[in-house]
Structure 1
Amino acid sequence: MIQTVIFDMDGVIVDTEPVHHYAYNQHFKQLGIEVSPEMYASFTGNSTKNIFERLKAQFNLKEDVPALVETKRNLFNEAFDRKADLYLLDGVENLIKDLYANGMQLVLASSSATVTIAKIFDRFGLHPYFSHIVSGEDFPKSKPHPAIFQHAAFLAQTPVENCIVIEDSTNGILAAKAAGIYCIGYDSFHSKMQDYSQADMVISNFSELSYNFIKNIR
Structure 2
Amino acid sequence: MIQTVIFDMDGVIVDTEPVHHFAYQQHFKQLNIDVSPEMYASFTGNSTKNIYERLKGIYNLKEDIQTLVETKRNLFNDAFDQKEDLYLLDGVEDLIKELYQNGMQMVLASSSANVTIQRIFNRFNLDNYFTHKVSGEDFPKSKPHPAIFLKAAELAKTPVRNCIVIEDSTNGILAAKAAEIYCIGYDSVNSKLQDYAMADEVISHFNELTFNKIRNLKY
The separation in 1 between residues aligned to 2:64 and 2:141, in whole angstroms, is 18
Structure 2 equivalent of residue 188 of structure 1: 188
Note if 1:200 corresponds to 2:204.
Answer: no
Deviation digits for residues 145-190 of structure 1 (CA, Å, limit 9, x no counterpart): 0000000000000000000000000000000000000000000000
Query: What is the CA distance between 1:57 and its match in structure 2?
Result: 0.2
Deviation digits for residues 21-57 of structure 1 (CA, Å, limit 9, x no counterpart): 0000000000000000000000000000000000000
The percentage of counterpart residues that share the same residue type is 78
Structure 2 equivalent of residue 52 of structure 1: 52
Query: What is the CA distance between 1:207 and its match in structure 2?
Result: 0.2
Query: What is the CA distance between 1:95 and its match in structure 2?
Result: 0.2
Q: What letter matches 1:31 in structure 2?
A: L
The separation in 1 between residues aligned to 2:200 and 2:164, in whole angstroms, is 10
TM-score (norm 1): 1.00
Instruction: Specify the SS of the correspondent of 1:183.
Output: strand
Structure 2 equivalent of residue 3 of structure 1: 3
The separation in 2 between residues aligned to 1:137 and 1:19, in whole angstroms, is 19
Q: Provide structure 2 residue ranges, at least 5 long, that are not aligned to the other structure.
A: none
TM-score (norm 2): 0.99
The separation in 1 between residues aligned to 2:76 and 2:138, in whole angstroms, is 19
> Alignment RMSD, CA only?
0.2
Query: What is the CA distance between 1:127 and its match in structure 2?
Result: 0.1
The separation in 1 between residues aligned to 2:42 and 2:206, in whole angstroms, is 25
Q: Provide structure 1 residue ranges, at least 5 long, that are not aligned to the other structure.
A: none
Note if 1:97 corresponds to 2:90.
Answer: no
